[in-house]
Every structure is written in structure tokens, then in C-alpha cells.
Structure 1
């Protein structure tokens, strides 16, 4: 019934979101938040994660 909208929807709705960025962030957080660093304050943990993501 709407061929143009149908083609546009197929082009854009077929794109799957990538989870690589979020998986990388959780992996990095797991490395930072080890049992030896379990006393880090949340603000310190966040600062470390921000520094790691910038480099």
C-alpha cells in the first residue's frame, strides 16, 4: 500500500544495534573492580573508567 515507506522501513529497521561498546565498558569495569580494589569509592571507580575510556 505504501511502497516508499515500506522500502525505507526495510532499510532502517533491518539494522541491528551493536553491543560491542557496552560489552567493552562492562569488561573494563570488571577489570577495574577486582577483589583487590573492592574498597574504591564509586566516584573513584567512575573516574578510573573515564580515564581508561579516553586512552
Structure 2
């Protein structure tokens, strides 16, 4: 039996919609459990630039 000729049991669009809903529901379940931000407010937008010369190591 050729692989390309087999009719899929679940249509692709149903898999995409189902997996999207699963990810969205997971995000909604996890979001209320996050009590603090990953970056403190003072660090937002800060860019750390190293001034050391790599050749001096």
C-alpha cells in the first residue's frame, strides 16, 4: 500500500485547530499562577554592553 494514498483518519485542519486550542487553554491555565515578572521593572529596555577587550584575556 502506498503511503501517499492513505486517507488520513483526522483532517489536518482539525489537528491544527485542536492543537491551537490546547496551547491557548494551557496558556490561560498558567497565566494566573505567574506572580512576578521575569524581568524587574528597572531592567526593562536595558542593554548590557561589555567594555572589556576580548584580545586582553
| TM-score when normalising by structure 1 | 0.34
Rg: which structure is higher? 2
Query: Which one has the bigger helix percentage?
Result: 1
| TM-score when normalising by structure 2 | 0.34
